[in-house]
Amino acid sequence: MVSLLEATGITKHFGGIKALNDITFGVQPGQIKAIIGPNGAGKTTLFNCISGVLKADGGEIKLNGTSIMKYPPHKRARAGISRTFQNVAIFPEMTVLENVLVGRHCRSKCEMLEAGFRTGSMRREEKEMEEKAWSFLEFVGLEGQAEKGAGELPLGDQRMLEIARALATEPKIVLLDEPAGGLNTRETERLAELIKEIRDSGITVLLVEHDMNLVMDISDEILVINFGEKLAEGDPKSIKSNPDVINAYLGEDIDYSDL
């Protein structure tokens, strides 16, 4: 099967530091794939290279078999890559609904003059975009808070809002960067179900996450990186029993047999 997202030999240096060194992996359509590793392993740097926030120093990234290495972030979003951030990146002064509408921007077909003169096609598109935004709020369970200021939401709801905005771009693959960070047990369980629903809706999921219970519960495959290099890749069962992974990340003093 051809990978939806394929990264080959990705490298990224910051001065003399190799943040990523020859990282190669693929994500199949319809998968939930997790990337794990210690703090500083290069996980978010890899996400930044995939989404175009950072330019990789070497290697190749393909989406549906087409190289996106020369695409800027907005063009990668239009191609079908969306993401959330490790530190929640919402617009706190805007409403919840307005935040999601920002995600619809890359799907707008109206030109500048149409927007300026408020043409009929522009008004129709605007109405369409708002209806779509409402549907994504309903998907994550925030439809009742659409008119509230985004900065007023608790952290758990802010993470849901960021996911709704990412989904509003209508991606082929969504990159979730530590979506369970700061969430309590109930919120994490809700997140796990939502990620499965995203996958079931036809969107492939790639996530960076430290919550091993969540990772082992929902992932089809796991990529482990350490010091910027690929350490292991496989299904959850093989990863949690891999001695190199245990030594580098999971820890020998914890029983992962029930995860």
Give the pLDDT of residue 258.
40
| Among candidate residues 171, 167, 163, the one with its CA nearest the CA of residue 63 | 171
What sign for the dihedral angle of Cα 95, 197, 192, 226? negative
Q: 170, 201, 233 — which closes off a domain? A: 170
Q: Judge if 242 and 192 occupy the same domain.
A: yes
Inter-axis angle of helices 120-140 and 155-167, nearest 10: 130
Band (109; pLDDT cuts 50, 70, 90): low
Q: Judge if 199 and 137 occupy the same domain.
A: no
Give the pLDDT of residue 174.
97
Q: Judge if 187 and 255 occupy the same domain.
A: yes
Terminal CA-CA length for the chain: 29
Give the pLDDT of residue 119.
60
Cβ neighbours of 15 (radius 10 Å): 6
Q: Judge if 34 and 94 occupy the same domain.
A: no
Q: 150, 170, 190 — which closes off a domain? A: 170
Give the pLDDT of residue 87.
81
Its domain, for residue 35, covers: 1-80+174-259
* Helix/strand/coil for 22: strand
pTM greater than 0.85 (yes/no): yes
CA 212 to chain centre: 17
- Six token digits for residue 106: 């890359």
Residue 186 vs residues 142, 164, 189, 198, 206: alpha-carbon distances, Å:
16, 19, 5, 19, 22
In a domain, 85, yes or no: no
Give the whole-angstrom CA distance, residue 33 versus residue 224.
11
Give the pLDDT of residue 257.
42
**Which residues on adjacent β-strands are paired with residue 12?**
20
In a domain, 201, yes or no: yes
Residue 223 vs residues 61, 83, 164, 236: alpha-carbon distances, Å:
16, 18, 25, 10
Q: What is the rounded average pLDDT for all residues in the chain? A: 88
**17-27/5-14 β-pairing:** antiparallel
Give the pLDDT of residue 259.
37
Give the pLDDT of residue 104.
72
Q: Judge if 69 and 186 occupy the same domain.
A: yes
Q: How many domains does the chain have?
A: 2
Give the pLDDT of residue 16.
85
What sign for the dihedral angle of Cα 226, 230, 235, 237? negative
Quick: pLDDT tens for 72-85: 999 999 999 999 98
In a domain, 222, yes or no: yes
Residues with Cβ within 8 Å of 15's Cβ and at least 6 positions away in sequence, in order, are none
Quick: pLDDT tens for 1-25: 679 999 999 999 998 888 999 999 9
Q: Judge if 20 and 36 occupy the same domain.
A: yes
Q: Judge if 54 and 22 occupy the same domain.
A: yes
Q: 110, 142, 170 — which closes off a domain? A: 170
Q: Judge if 165 and 178 occupy the same domain.
A: no
Quick: pLDDT tens for 53-72: 999 999 999 999 999 999 99
